[in-house]
């Protein structure tokens, strides 16, 4: 029950955030739910999931640190400076969201399969729906930073 609450609150809390640090904090809360729910059922899968999450999050932290990005809207400014860095951020966010065929999809898929095999289909459904919440706020970051324009100081005449 704690794991489900963690994934739902993590997904829900990250929806309206504007600072990347807070988004990653809520993301960690949601991912901890995935780790906790599988810990008793399949410890090896828990370790795999945790390792993939750590590597993906570390990549995101390093990229955000290198680009000095703290807010979501500053990622859109990064697009003009370093397109590859921006693409790394986008792909890492999608992987954290569990979007196939990226790396973060497989642990979530395997956890959902384990829950169904162990007669917990309700938990699997709630976990999958909470993953959609997290994926939504990751997609919102990508949308806001790539498809919307922020005011600049350029005065074109």
Residue 156 has pLDDT above 70, yes or no: no
Structure confidence at residue 56 (pLDDT): 95
Confidence band for 151, pLDDT divided at 50, 70 and 90: low
What does the pLDDT read at residue 78? Answer: 81
Q: Name the domain count of the chain.
A: 1
Residue 151 belongs to a domain: no
Query: Considering the domain boundaries, does residue 43 fall inside one?
Result: yes
pLDDT tens digits, 5-58: 898 888 888 888 888 889 999 999 999 999 999 998 999 999 999 999 999 999
Which residue in this structure is represented by tokens 């706020």? 137
Please report the pLDDT score of residue 17 as a whole number: 84
Cα–Cα distance, 29 to 113 (Å, whole number)? 22
From 2-6, 29-33, 111-115, 130-134, the region with the lowest mean pLDDT: 2-6
pLDDT of residue 102 exceeding 80, the answer is yes
- Domain contains 157: no
Q: Does residue 96 have a pLDDT over 90?
A: yes
Is pLDDT above 80 for 80?
no
Residue 104 lies in a domain: yes
Question: CA triplet 72, 78, 84: central angle to 5 degrees?
Answer: 115
User: In the predicted model, what is the mean pLDDT of the chain?
Assistant: 88
Enclosing domain of residue 134: 2-146
- pLDDT-derived band at 62, boundaries 50, 70, 90: very high
Flag whether 154 is in a domain. Answer: no
pLDDT at 150 over 70: no
Query: Has residue 95 been placed in a domain?
Result: yes
Identify the pLDDT of residue 152. Answer: 56
* Residue 155 within a domain: no
Does 153 map to a domain? no
Question: Which own/partner pairs from 51-60 qualify as long-range (CB within 8 Å, at least 24 positions apart)?
Answer: 52/103, 52/104, 52/106, 52/107, 53/96, 53/104, 53/107, 56/92, 56/95, 56/96, 56/103, 56/104, 57/24, 57/27, 57/28, 57/96, 59/88, 59/92, 60/24, 60/89, 60/92, 60/93, 60/96
96 CB neighbour count, 10 Å cutoff: 26
| pLDDT at residue 79 in the model | 77
């Amino acid at each position: 029950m704690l794991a489900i609450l963690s994934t739902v609150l993590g997904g829900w809390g990250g929806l309206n955030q504007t600072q990347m640090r807070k988004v990653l904090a809520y993301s960690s809360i949601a991912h901890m739910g995935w780790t906790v729910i599988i810990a008793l059922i399949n410890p090896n899968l828990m370790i795999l999931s945790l390792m993939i999450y750590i590597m993906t999050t570390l990549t995101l932290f390093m990229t955000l640190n290198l680009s000095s990005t703290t807010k979501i809207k500053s990622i859109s400014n990064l697009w003009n400076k370093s397109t590859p860095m921006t693409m790394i951020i986008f792909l890492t966010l999608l992987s954290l969201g569990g979007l196939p065929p990226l790396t973060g999809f497989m642990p979530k898929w395997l956890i959902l399969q384990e829950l169904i095999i162990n007669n917990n289909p309700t938990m699997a459904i709630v976990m999958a729906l909470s993953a959609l919440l997290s994926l939504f706020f990751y997609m919102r970051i990508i949308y806001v930073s790539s498809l919307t324009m922020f005011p600049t100081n350029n005065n074109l005449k």
